[in-house]
Amino acid sequence: MDAGQSERWFQRPGIWFWAAMAIGAALRLYLVVWTEGTRDVELWVEHADNVRHLGLIGYYQNDPGANHPPFISYAEAILLGISEKTGIPYRILLRGPTALFDAGTTFCWFWYSAQSGFAGFWPRPTG
């Protein structure tokens, strides 16, 4: 096999590429839905609960750990309320949108790559 042939296998998204994409998506789905996540999820529940019980201003006055922007603190309090009303675990509502944005970004990147002819799935310095 010459050098030209050995470079070609990764220049097109073959079965290896789509299998890696599917495995990555499945792992992300598993992590979002079936794991507790990091300590951040617990901290956000605590922050959101404090905002709901103390109010936004009261939360900032009474909790020295209140170091998040007001909009995010308020949005997370709303998200906690939605979680309680729907029964969807808060950890899924917290991490799910990020996973969806990642999937959307990936879709847009592939769409752009297909439209422009740019091999965006594998960065190459020669273009």
Neighbours of 30 (CB within 10 A): 10
55: left (phi over 0), alpha (psi -120 to 50) or beta: left
Q: What pLDDT shows up at residue 56?
A: 93
pLDDT for residue 6 is more than 70 = no
Q: What pLDDT shows up at residue 58?
A: 95
Q: What pTM does this model have? A: 0.70
Enumerate the H helices of the chain as residue ranges.
3-8, 15-34, 39-62, 70-86, 90-116
Place of tokens 């310095």: 125
pLDDT for residue 114 is more than 90 = no
pLDDT for residue 7 is more than 60 = no
Residue percentage of the chain with pLDDT more than 90 = 40
How far, in Å, CA of 41 to CA of 103, rounded?
21
27-80 confidence digits (pLDDT tens): 988 998 898 878 889 999 999 999 999 999 999 999 888 888 999 999 999 999
Tell me the mean pLDDT in the region 78-88.
Answer: 96
Say if residues 102 and 28 touch (Cβ distance below 8 Å).
Answer: yes
Tell me the mean pLDDT in the region 103-125.
Answer: 69
